[in-house]
Amino acid sequence: MPEINAGDTAWVLTSTALVMLMTPGLALFYGGLVRRKNVLSTIMHSFFILGLVSVTWVLWGYTLAFGPDTGMGLIGGFDWLALEGVTGEPSDVYATTVPHLAFMAFQMMFAIITPALITGAFAERKRFKAFVLFAVAWSTLVYAPIAHWVWSPDGWLFNLGVLDFAGGTVVHLSSGVAALVAALFIGRRTGLIEAATEPHDVPMTVLGAGLLWFGWFGFNAGSALGANGLAATAFVTTNTAAAMAAITWVTISWLHKGTPSVLGAAIGAVAGLVAITPAAGYVTPAAAILIGLGVGVVCYGAAQLRLRARVDDALDVFAVHGVGGAFGAVATGVFATVAVNAGGVNGLLAGNGGQVLTQLLAVGAVGAYSAVVTAGILFVINLVVAIRVPAPAEEAGLDLAQHGEIAYQP
Amino acid sequence: MVIAALICFAALLVAWMFAPDEGSAFEGTATVFEPELAPAT
């Protein structure tokens, strides 16, 4: 019978709270990037998901993602519906030194922030009612199965040896691809001359990025699921990659556009955090510097390409989370070493080139599944509730048109 | 208890489906809430 370790339990519960704070942080990050007439609606997307997915995760999300497998490594069964059987005693399978409920709550916070990430793609034009239905469907039909594939010991990608320490594929790639599909489905915002607008409040965005960075220590170091050396490794690699990506993004934008952008520092840090997520517990701090550098370059380029393509992924969710998540997943296959984590495997630089192919398979499978199912969900919801608000509402702003409130008095 | 909890959530889903949707009829005061662009740098 597994026994509870007090230190591990304290760290996992603390990390759960840290990850919870990321979703309000994301709300501020996104809220600052939109126009002032849409700041409340953008914040509301993240904040409402915090409530919505908390409930659906307890009712059916956790059992679908982490419950005993239904037989093919694709999804869990209903054994733990409404957390029946999930108690204060440790699980036999997951995080065996902490209460099962603590592990469940930690994973809940991941399930919450993942659909919240997507909301940046359809900001300023999505009908709230359609958004609610989308969030329920997406977290059930896309997030839960992918989490099962990668993190359940019965999951098919887990059993192929895919490395994803804290959710590079499960969280970031899946949401980034879904964001691109959503942006294409819903179409560009009305009246935009370019495929971007100036953010209405850069300090709000920087504050949000700071909260995300802070919370990410729980996201990655908490994924060690214990108060131990692995958590310390993940903590350091996380901070290192974020720092390197931030200064890389600023440098590139400085050379490209002539000024060291504050917004670039914030977005660059987030890109670094995304890329180190799958690798945090498998790579050295030196590798984290290279990952931060690489993702800064790659995601900056992706954001520029997105602008040229005139795809209105309003807040660059695909460029940062989709591309950054895929980059991080592949980089994990390059830099992973058992010298850091004896429970992992070696990557390309440690003589195991096959791990890169395994990581690429995961990127392809998760990306394709997310794209197809997201498109299906959007298509069906659009038959029931028009996803896009009418033009007058979009022109007036969703704060007033959808929520009857405004953020700032004129 | 599990069934009761599921039914409660299902009731919320139904409520959301039939809740008023102000946006569909909005013809409002766009001029008051024109975007104010922040400086680029």
User: What is the 3-class SS of A60-118, one letter each residue?
Assistant: HHHHHHHCCECCCCCCECCCCHHHCCCCCCCCCCCCCCCCHHHHHHHHHHHHHHHHHHH
pLDDT at B36 over 50: no
pLDDT at B29 over 50: no
A contacts of B33 (beta carbons < 8 Å):
36-37, 396-397, 399-400, 406, 410
Q: Which of A395, A403, A405 to mutate to test the interface with B (most CBs of B within 10 A)?
A: A395
pLDDT at A197: 73
Cβ separation A400–B33 shorter than 8 A = yes
Query: Are A99 and A54 spatial neighbours (Cβ–Cβ below 8 Å)?
Result: no
The contacts of residue B4 (CB under 8 Å, 6+ apart) are none
CA distance A105 to A102: 5
pLDDT at A193: 58
DSSP 8-state secondary structure symbol assigned to residue A126? B
- Reported confidence tier of residue B26, pLDDT bands at 50, 70, 90: low
pLDDT digits (tens, 9 = 90+) for A88-121: 999 999 999 999 999 999 999 999 999 999 999 9
pLDDT digits (tens, 9 = 90+) for A326-335: 999 999 999 9
CA distance A311 to A158: 34
Q: Which two tokens stand for residue A383?
A: 């038959």
Cβ separation B35–A197 shorter than 8 A = yes
B contacts of A199 (beta carbons < 8 Å):
38
- Reported confidence tier of residue B39, pLDDT bands at 50, 70, 90: very low
For residue A8, give how far its alpha carbon lies from the nearest alpha carbon of chain B (Å).
30
CA distance A300 to A304: 6
Residues of chain A with pLDDT under 70: 1, 193-196
Q: Which of B33, B34, B36, B41 to mutate to test the interface with A (most CBs of A within 10 A)?
A: B33
pLDDT at A196: 59
pLDDT at B38 over 70: no
pLDDT at A138: 98
Cβ separation A395–B16 shorter than 8 A = no
Q: Which of A383, A402, A409 to mutate to test the interface with B (most CBs of B within 10 A)?
A: A402
pLDDT at B32 over 50: no
Cβ separation A395–B30 shorter than 8 A = yes
B26 to chain A: closest CA residue: A393
Rg (CA), chain B: 20
pLDDT at A107: 98
CA distance A150 to A226: 20
pLDDT at B22: 63
Cβ separation B6–A59 shorter than 8 A = yes
The pTM of the whole model exceeds 0.90: yes
Tell me which residues of chain B have a C-beta less than 8 Å from any C-beta of chain A.
1-2, 5-6, 9, 13, 16-17, 19, 21-24, 26-30, 32-41
Count CA atoms closer than 13 A to A242's CA, side-chain side: 24
- Reported confidence tier of residue B34, pLDDT bands at 50, 70, 90: very low
